[in-house]
């Protein structure tokens, strides 16, 4: 069933109301029509939770682990962390992984998305020196998950490049494509028989635009408009090389699936002015199309409008050619179709209008020429950038269906930040609102295989430290044991997993949580 109010030319005022519409449609009349349908997640829909290595593991220099760019960046610039807490110890999951798995059992999830620290298993970054102690840690974690029928979903790279490779240029160096392929081979060889779900790289935009274009995210290169574009090309090629490696040497044997996790937040026009609608379309191509087009579009390559825009601005700035590097014909072929699923990291929605000011040049901001905002009535989180707009998840889903022909999707991250405290009612509301939006997206054809909550527990949120809490479980970072306690949201999530529906008014009797026998569901085939 297609919801007709979304398939006409909506003005922005209707978007304001869409969050409420998604929640109210099942219980109230809209334009004389009452929908009392109870929407349900199918039995083979996979629910999970996520973390990443630097953010939870700790043990930054134990058992022969090598230094990574976040170790170096936060040690040399401790002042950039909001509360001064870095990932040296974090949640100490390196020693407490069994408690982490126990929490997953309490929730009743189907899968656990975690990342491997490249420098923990390859201390120099290169595959000639393999750290067996690092491999043993991940082997133990995987076995603990499989013991309880929890599927490992491994991310090969989640922001923490070995510092030795960064010293050679990192992702701006074309050789990084080979370095990543070699690293992927080590991991596939070791864990391919046990792991069926793989994510090559998490959020290329954060790696490249923030890390190589900016100065507040490791490795803080500060080469906006040049280094970030070099990084984007190499990261996408590295993904494709790892995908083809698995496809050619491991897929027939192990029958796993390999995807990539991209940031797919939604963007809407600030108003109905033509210039702002056009600016919004351009912004989407720079933030979604730049990463999805090479893999999922029929033509491949970077979006034509992005190539045209960067070339035009580059020539105006005195460059002899575009600052956006080109893909060769062979590279376009390599990238096209190089994913079994899209890992969608979705958090929020922004409003876009044509910029009335000029940005520093060269830069991606200057290439886009847009200004961003969010509606004041959208609920705010502990993070300045994160506001609740559940309708954006629906509209993002419809967009990728239309533009990229219904790719299989895992929601690989979605979450909400709060302050400390176990009674996180705001996270509960956001969880329910976004699940309602997701159910509408599934009903309207989006091929969503599963959902992964960010995050299993409070962790080190990069330069925010522990000042922004995303966990279903609260972590006491001041305690020696790094004690984890279930929040209200953990019990609500557990209930949704068990019942497969969103119950707006359900409340637990208390915050006690225990392990229950997990139901068996039909295996997902991608």
pLDDT tens digits in sequence order for the chain, 526 residues long: 333 223 333 444 444 444 445 444 433 333 333 467 899 999 999 999 999 999 999 999 999 999 999 999 999 999 999 999 999 999 999 999 999 999 999 999 999 999 999 999 999 999 999 999 999 999 999 999 999 999 999 999 999 999 999 999 999 999 999 999 999 999 999 999 999 999 999 999 999 999 999 999 999 999 999 999 999 999 999 999 999 999 999 999 999 999 999 999 999 999 999 999 999 999 999 999 999 999 999 999 999 999 999 999 999 999 999 999 999 999 999 999 999 999 999 999 999 999 999 999 999 999 999 999 999 999 999 999 999 999 999 999 999 999 999 999 999 999 999 999 999 999 999 999 999 999 999 999 999 999 999 999 999 999 999 999 999 999 999 999 999 999 999 999 999 999 999 999 999 999 999 997 766 555 555 5
Half-sphere exposure of 374 (CA within 13 A, CB side): 19
Q: What does each C-alpha distance from 42 to 13, 340, 450 come to in angstroms?
A: 33, 21, 10
Tally Cβ neighbours within 10 Å of residue 304. 12
Tell me the DSSP string of 68-95. Answer: BHHHHHHHH-GGGSTTS--TTTTT-HHH
Instruction: Give me 288's structure tokens.
Output: 């979604």
Q: Which of 347, 394, 451, 493 is labelled catalytic?
A: 347
Pairing label, strands 370-373, 349-354: antiparallel
Q: What does each C-alpha distance from 268 to 24, 326, 399, 483 come to in angstroms?
A: 22, 29, 12, 41
Instruction: Give me 118's structure tokens.
Output: 């490249």
Q: Which of 113, 284, 427, 487 is labelled catalytic?
A: 113
Q: Residues 141-165, buried b or exposed e (16+ Cβ, 10 A)?
A: bbebbeeeebbbbbbbbbbbbbbbb
Give tens-digit pLDDT for 106-154: 999 999 999 999 999 999 999 999 999 999 999 999 999 999 999 999 9
Helix count and strand count (H, E) for the chain: 19, 15
Q: Which of 26, 127, 173, 206 is labelled catalytic?
A: 206
Task: Say what the alpha-carbon torsion angle 117, 118, 120, 124 is, to the nearest 10 degrees.
Answer: -160
CA atoms of 500 and 458, how far apart (whole Å) = 25
Q: Find the radius of gyration of the CA atoms of the chain.
A: 22
For domain 4-499, the CATH superfamily is Glycosidases (3.20.20.80)
CB-based contact 184:156 (threshold 8 Å): yes
Q: What does each C-alpha distance from 199 to 25, 154, 180, 338 come to in angstroms?
A: 35, 6, 13, 12
Q: Which of 345, 363, 381, 459 is labelled catalytic?
A: 345
323 is catalytic: no
- Return the residue matching tokens 């992964």: 452
CA atoms of 338 and 239, how far apart (whole Å) = 8
DSSP E strand stretches across 312-408: 341-345, 349-354, 370-373
CA 93, 78, 479, 488 dihedral sign is: negative
113 is catalytic: yes
CA atoms of 426 and 458, how far apart (whole Å) = 16
End-to-end CA distance of the chain: give it in Å, rounded. 23
Give tens-digit pLDDT for 78-99: 999 999 999 999 999 999 999 9
Q: Which of 203, 257, 426, 455 is labelled catalytic?
A: 203
413 is catalytic: yes
203 is catalytic: yes
- pTM for the whole structure: 0.94
Q: What is the pLDDT of residue 3?
A: 38
Instruction: Give me 249's structure tokens.
Output: 């040497």
CB-based contact 469:417 (threshold 8 Å): yes
Q: Which of 57, 331, 371, 413 is labelled catalytic?
A: 413
Give tens-digit pLDDT for 158-185: 999 999 999 999 999 999 999 999 999 9
């Amino acid at each position: 069933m297609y919801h007709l109010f979304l398939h006409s030319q909506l003005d922005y005022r209707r978007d304001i109301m869409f969050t409420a519409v998604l929640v109210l449609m099942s219980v109230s009349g809209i334009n004389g029509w009452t929908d009392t349908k109870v929407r349900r997640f199918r039995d083979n829909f996979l629910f999970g939770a996520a973390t990443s290595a630097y953010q939870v593991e700790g043990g930054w220099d134990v058992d022969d682990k090598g230094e990574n760019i976040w170790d170096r960046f936060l040690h040399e610039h401790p002042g950039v962390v909001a509360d001064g807490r870095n990932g040296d110890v974090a949640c100490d999951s390196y020693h407490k992984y069994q408690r982490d798995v126990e929490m997953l059992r309490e929730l009743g999830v189907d899968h656990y998305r975690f990342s491997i620290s490249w420098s923990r298993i390859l201390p120099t970054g290169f595959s000639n020196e393999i750290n067996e102690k690092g491999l043993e840690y991940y082997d133990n974690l995987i076995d603990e998950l499989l013991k309880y029928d929890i599927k490992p979903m491994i991310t090969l790279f989640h922001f923490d490049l070995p510092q030795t490779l960064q010293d050679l240029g990192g992702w701006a160096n074309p050789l990084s494509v080979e370095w990543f392929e070699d690293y992927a081979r080590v991991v596939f060889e070791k864990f391919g028989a046990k792991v069926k779900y793989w994510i090559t790289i998490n959020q290329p935009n954060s790696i490249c635009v923030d890390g190589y274009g900016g100065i507040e995210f490791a490795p803080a290169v500060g080469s906006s408009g040049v280094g970030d574009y070099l990084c984007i090309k190499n990261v996408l090629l590295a993904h494709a090389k790892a995908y083809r490696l698995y496809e050619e040497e491991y897929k027939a044997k192990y029958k796993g699936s390999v995807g990539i996790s991209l940031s797919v937040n939604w963007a809407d026009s600030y108003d109905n002015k033509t210039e702002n609608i056009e600016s919004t379309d351009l912004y989407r191509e720079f933030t979604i199309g730049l990463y999805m087009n090479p893999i999922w579009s029929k033509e491949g390559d970077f979006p034509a409008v992005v190539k045209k825009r960067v070339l035009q601005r580059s020539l105006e700035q005195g460059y002899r050619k575009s600052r956006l590097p080109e893909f060769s014909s062979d590279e376009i072929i390599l990238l096209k179709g190089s994913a079994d699923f899209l890992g969608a990291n979705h958090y929020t929605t922004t409003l876009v209008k044509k910029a009335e000011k000029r940005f520093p040049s060269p830069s991606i901001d200057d290439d886009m020429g847009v200004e961003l905002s969010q509606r004041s009535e959208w609920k705010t989180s502990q993070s300045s950038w994160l506001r609740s707009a559940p309708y954006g998840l629906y509209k993002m889903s419809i967009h990728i269906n239309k533009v990229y022909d219904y790719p299989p999707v895992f929601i690989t991250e979605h979450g909400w930040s709060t302050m400390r405290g176990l009674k996180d009612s705001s996270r509960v509301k956001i969880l329910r609102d976004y699940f309602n939006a997701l159910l509408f997206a599934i009903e309207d054809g989006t091929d969503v295989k599963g959902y992964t909550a960010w995050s299993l527990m409070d962790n080190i949120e990069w330069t925010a430290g522990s000042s922004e809490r995303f966990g279903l479980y609260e972590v006491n970072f001041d305690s020696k044991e790094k004690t984890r306690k279930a929040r209200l949201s953990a019990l609500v999530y557990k209930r949704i997993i068990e019942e497969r529906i969103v119950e707006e008014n359900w409340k637990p009797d208390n915050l006690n949580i225990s392990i229950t026998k997990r139901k068996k569901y039909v295996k997902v085939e991608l």
